[in-house]
Structure 1
Amino acid sequence: MAIELELKLMIQPEYLASAGAFLDNICGQSTADDHARQPTLSLMNAYFDTEDANLMHGGVAMRIRAVNGKFIQTVKTRGSSRIGMHARGEWEWLVPSDQLDLSLLNEVPLPEALQDKAWQANLIEVYRTDFERQVWNISAANAKMEVVCDHGLVTSPYGEDRICEVELELKSGDEMGLYQFAMQLAERVPVQVSVVSKAQKGVRLKYGHIDFPDKPESSAEALLLAAYWYEVWLVYWEAMHFMQDDVLSQPLRHSMAKLKGYLPEEIASKLATLDDEVALVVASENEDVLSQLAGMKQVGIVMLAVGLWLNNKNL
Structure 2
Amino acid sequence: MATELELKLMVQPEYLKSACAFLDTFCEKNSSAQDTSSKSSRQATLDLMNGYYDTANALLLENGIALRIRAVNREFIQTVKTRGSSRVGMHARGEWEWHVDSDGLDLTLLSEVPLPKPLQDMQWSRDLIEVFRTDFQRHVWLIHYKSSVLEVVCDEGEVSSAYGRDNICELELELKSGDEGALYEFAHLIAQQVPVQVSVVSKAQKGSRLKHRRIEFPSKPNPQDSLLSFAEYWYETWLVYWEAMFYLRDEALLQPIRSAIYQLKQCVPTELSKRLEALDQCYDSLFKVDREGLLERLASKPETGIMMLSTGQWLNQQLDRPA
What TM-score results when the alignment is normalised by the length of structure 2?
A: 0.96
2:232 to 212, 227, 231: 227
Equivalent residue for 1:79? Answer: 84
Structure 1 residue 30: Cα displacement: 2.3
Equivalent residue for 1:120? Answer: 125
Secondary structure of 2:253's partner? helix
Work out whether residues 49 and 62 of structure 1, in 8 Å CA contact, stay in contact via their aligned partners in 2: yes
Secondary structure of 1:29's partner? helix
Residues 18-65 of structure 1 show CA distances to partners (whole Å, capped at 9, x for unaligned) of: 111110111111233441100111111100000011101111000000
Secondary structure of 1:138's partner? strand
Q: How does 1:197-208 map to 2 (within 5 A)?
A: 197-208=202-213
Q: How does 1:131-210 map to 2 (within 5 A)?
A: 131-210=136-215
Equivalent residue for 1:50? Answer: 55
The separation in 2 between residues aligned to 1:154 and 1:18, in whole angstroms, is 23
Q: How does 1:1-315 map to 2 (within 5 A)?
A: 1-31=1-31, 32-34=36-38, 35-315=40-320
What TM-score results when the alignment is normalised by the length of structure 1?
A: 0.99
Work out whether residues 50 and 119 of structure 1, in 8 Å CA contact, stay in contact via their aligned partners in 2: yes
Structure 1 residue 140: Cα displacement: 1.1
Work out whether residues 8 and 168 of structure 1, in 8 Å CA contact, stay in contact via their aligned partners in 2: yes
Number of aligned positions between the proteins: 315
Unmatched tracts of structure 2, length 5 or more: none
Unmatched tracts of structure 1, length 5 or more: none
Work out whether residues 141 and 180 of structure 1, in 8 Å CA contact, stay in contact via their aligned partners in 2: no
Structure 1 residue 185: Cα displacement: 0.5
Work out whether residues 141 and 181 of structure 1, in 8 Å CA contact, stay in contact via their aligned partners in 2: no
Structure 1 residue 142: Cα displacement: 2.9
Query: Identity of paired residues, percent?
Result: 57
Structure 1 segments, 4+ long, off by >4 Å, are none
- What's the C-alpha RMSD, in Å, of the aligned pairs? 0.8
Residues 67-89 of structure 1 show CA distances to partners (whole Å, capped at 9, x for unaligned) of: 00000000000000000000010
